[in-house]
Structure 1
Amino acid sequence: MKYKLILIGCLAVMLASFKTTDILPDVLIIGDSISLGYTPFVRKALKDKANVVHNKGNAQHSGYGLEQIDEWIGDKKWDVIQFNWGLWDLCYRNPESKNQGNRDKVNGKVTFTLEEYEHNLEALVVRLKETDAKLIFVTTSYVPEGELGRIVKSDKAYNKVAKKVMKKYGVTVNDINKISKKIHKDHGAGPKDVHYTKEGYEQLSQPVVKIIEKYLND
């Protein structure tokens, strides 16, 4: 009898310490600093519905993505993987520039041309489709006037290429570009800065939450 009581007590402790997160679906977000900005709000909104994880650090450009993708995916069986590249790919950099990140759209060299970006994205999507995860591609956010390393409307050109690749492989696209432009007007980190204030990131998280939530319920 004493042994049974001890056993019951141990089971009760185990059940009490059991984390509900262990049975929630797993969501991986791969992306640049914009995604790093809105991920905490996504995580908060989905805290009772999914375990939301961002890749370690900044996913930078598609070339870096190809180098790191296996490590980011790891051995976990992800239910949803959301990914984005673009802002780094379309950025012009010059080693001699004193601007942050060596940005220089006048004398610099673009990280990846449209053709190279398309090629890299294809390779990344092929790798991601090897997982059983539902895939979501998020378009490149708004490039404002006066950005030191990025040409206005280049975001649209790179998004056009990305959409072409996603259509080819049947990947869902969450097109946040237009809404990011509207949000940037009032909540951009600066008129020439691609980043956002806390309020801006919170607003950007809303369309991200909406589509991830939809995929979790499918």
Structure 2
Amino acid sequence: MNSTGEPGRMIEGRKPPLNIFLPLFLYPVILILIACSSVDAADRPNIVVIMADEKSEITEQRTNQNGQRSREVSNHGSNIALASKEELYLDRKLAFANPEVDNPNLPNVLLIGDSISIGYTAYVRRDLIGKADVYRIPTNAKNSAYGLEHLNDWLEMKSLKWDVIHFNWGLWDLCYRHPESNVQGNRDKVNGTLTESLEGYRSNMKKIVARLKQTDATLIWCTTTPVPAGEAGRKLGDDVKYNLVAAEIMKANKVRINDLHSHALLRLPETMVREGDVHFTEEGYIHLGSKVAEEVSAAIAKRAADSRREIE
């Protein structure tokens, strides 16, 4: 693998030595590479993930099987692709690679959400390099009842003052599940039981917002992304119903709203990972991440402006 992280691509300007014994040297190396490529990604002891911001500042993170960052190297002047779909969507280790050291000169951002937020977290970090330290909770936030139960632990997972908290619950709440269903997640909208009713969701979200407001952070509610036709455990249109309930609560509490639902629709269905699946392709997560980063940036700017006015 070359310095750009792309296998088999020669570095520009560097020519291989013209040696008649080169094929003899390369043959065992090729055999080793073929053998390694056949090993499942989950069995590899280390996974290399590469991010790049628009200024081509590259951050290479080597992550072990526990998702803990063991090495970080910065480079400049290169043009390297983002994390692959395998690394982002299947392994998802990069999403949980929170900053090891807080930069006191940057605002602290906390992302809370389900697998959709796990998918776009890496791209939000990329877009906010130099603007904010972006953290996420160490797990999938699942449904609102689960979130309410664990919220205190997540808010206190680091001794940091949160400046912006971007959060969502919904897709798990509106999902029907049945213990005998063989579909992933035991989803079954025909025979299953709804995880959380609209009224239960309303009650949980009111309590969650009340707790989040105690942090004095700028809060951003992210609308639940679309439920596609053919989803095994979710009914078409329920995403809109739950979003309306959440929006009512957010408006009453003067919480900013990031309409990620409408933003996602701009690139659907081509960014669906597969038909009837609520998840997205890598391009889809980049699309969502850019919107989240934009909303977080706006909140940071407003917070800074308000602070200056208070000082004046």
- Fold shared, TM-score > 0.5 on shorter chain: yes
Q: How does 1:143-182 map to 2 (within 5 A)?
A: 143-182=227-266
Q: Conserved in 1, the CA contact under 8 Å of 2:102 and 2:133?
A: no
CA distance in structure 1 between the aligned counterparts of 2:122 and 2:220, rounded to whole angstroms: 18
Aligned to 1:39: 121
CA distance in structure 1 between the aligned counterparts of 2:263 and 2:299, rounded to whole angstroms: 21
Q: How does 1:30-109 map to 2 (within 5 A)?
A: 30-74=112-156, 75-109=159-193
CA distance in structure 2 between the aligned counterparts of 1:121 and 1:208, rounded to whole angstroms: 20
- Superposition RMSD on alpha carbons, in Å? 1.1
CA-CA distance at 1:20 after TM superposition? 8.3
Q: Which runs of 5+ in 1 are unaligned?
A: 1-18
Q: Conserved in 2, the CA contact under 8 Å of 1:93 and 1:101?
A: yes
Aligned length: 200
CA distance in structure 1 between the aligned counterparts of 2:268 and 2:176, rounded to whole angstroms: 21
Aligned to 1:194: 278
Q: Conserved in 1, the CA contact under 8 Å of 2:223 and 2:260?
A: yes
CA distance in structure 2 between the aligned counterparts of 1:179 and 1:171, rounded to whole angstroms: 19
CA distance in structure 2 between the aligned counterparts of 1:31 and 1:184, rounded to whole angstroms: 21
Structure 1 residues 99 and 28, CA, compared in 2 at 3 Å: closer, same or farther? same
Structure 1 SS opposite 2:149: helix
The residue identity in structure 1 corresponding to 2:132 is A
CA distance in structure 1 between the aligned counterparts of 2:265 and 2:192, rounded to whole angstroms: 25
Identity %: 48
CA distance in structure 2 between the aligned counterparts of 1:22 and 1:40, rounded to whole angstroms: 21
CA-CA distance at 1:53 after TM superposition? 0.5
The residue identity in structure 2 corresponding to 1:182 is L
CA distance in structure 1 between the aligned counterparts of 2:200 and 2:265, rounded to whole angstroms: 26
CA-CA distance at 1:184 after TM superposition? 2.9
CA-CA distance at 1:168 after TM superposition? 1.1
**Deviations along 1:28-62, whole A, 9 cap, x unmatched?**
00001001101100000101000001111100110
CA-CA distance at 1:142 after TM superposition? 0.6
State the structure with more CA Rg. 2
Structure 2 SS opposite 1:115: helix
CA distance in structure 2 between the aligned counterparts of 1:91 and 1:187, rounded to whole angstroms: 21
CA-CA distance at 1:207 after TM superposition? 1.4
Higher share of residues assigned helix: 1
The residue identity in structure 2 corresponding to 1:80 is V
| TM-score normalised to structure 1 length | 0.89
CA distance in structure 2 between the aligned counterparts of 1:209 and 1:76, rounded to whole angstroms: 20
Q: Which runs of 5+ in 2 are unaligned?
A: 1-100, 303-312
Matched, 1:134 2:215: no
Which structure has more RCO (C-alpha within 8 Å, separation ≥ 6)?
1
Structure 2 SS opposite 1:28: strand
Aligned to 1:213: 297
